[in-house]
Amino acid sequence: MKNSTETNHLRFADQPGTHQRTALTEIVRSCAPLMTAFEQARALNLPDWWIVSGAIYNQVWNNLTGKPDLYGVKDIDLFYFDPDTIYAAEDRIIRKGATHFDTAIPVEIRNQARVHLWYKDHFGEDYAPLSQSTDGIYNFACKTHAIGMRLKPDDSFDIYAPFGLNDIFGFRLVPHTKRDNRATHEAKGHRQMTLWPELSFVPWPENPDADAKGVPNDRRG
């Protein structure tokens, strides 16, 4: 296995956004198990679906540091948005997905229209209702983690990256202070730096209100 020096893991950092999107797409396409998940998610055809977060950015880091495909990936997160917010409707989709996906890593399916209904019970704070799946991606505790992709019928990709891709390719974990997610940012950062020591960690600011929170925009490609 090559080490990060041999593979020049920062070779896409600070490159133009179009180059980074091309590199991201090529890295995803080169990972057969991840492409299987995208193809099967497309076939499931859920409304406003996206594969998000770890399975994507972890695979970028794996590719650029010479690690095995999907090293460090615990599950593949699949977001969708269905205004039918009853539990039984989401549960039917989750059960269907359990038999639909033929992947070594489990696929975790969550309806983003329902997050506000259970978030406070799990995390102790309110969560405003979302209007689309990309709102959930935008709300992640780390700007670096805010990435979603979906495979279109013509086999090209939609990409949603509200803060761009440079922190992913720059191996930087940058906090997103829109919500009080300091503990999540620190816990995920600790785990990820253990798995990918090439990462640098930007700590949560002591005065989050003075931190530039970033403005969501529809960065799709």
Query: Which domain does 30 fall in, by range?
Result: 4-210
pLDDT of residue 78: 98
218 lies in some domain:
no
3-state secondary structure of 31: coil
User: What's the confidence (pLDDT) of residue 207?
Assistant: 81
* CB-count burial class (<10 Å; 0-12, 13-18, 19+) for 4: middle
Nearest CA-CA partner of 52 in 20, 25, 23, 79: 79
User: Please, which residues have CB within 8 angstroms of residue 134's CB and are 6 or more apart in sequence?
Assistant: 50, 148, 160, 162, 216, 218
pLDDT band, very low/low/confident/very high, at 217 (cuts 50, 70, 90): low
Note whether residue 99 is domain-resident.
yes
The pLDDT-based confidence of 208 (bands split at 50, 70, 90) is confident
User: Would residue 186 count as lying in a domain?
Assistant: yes
pLDDT(211) > 70: no
- Triad 201, 207, 213: Cα angle to 5°: 70
Cα–Cα distance, 104 to 208 (Å, whole number)? 39
Is 221 within a domain? Answer: no
Structurally, how many domains does the chain consist of?
1
Note whether residue 220 is domain-resident.
no
The 10s digit of each residue's pLDDT in 9-42 is 999 999 999 999 999 999 999 999 999 999 999 9
Residue 121 forms part of a structural domain: yes
Q: What is the pLDDT of residues 51-78, one digit of tens each?
A: 999 999 999 999 999 999 999 999 999 9
Residue length of the chain: 221
The string of pLDDT tens digits covering residues 88-129 is 999 999 999 999 999 999 999 999 999 999 999 988 889 999
Determine, yes or no, domain membership for 219. no
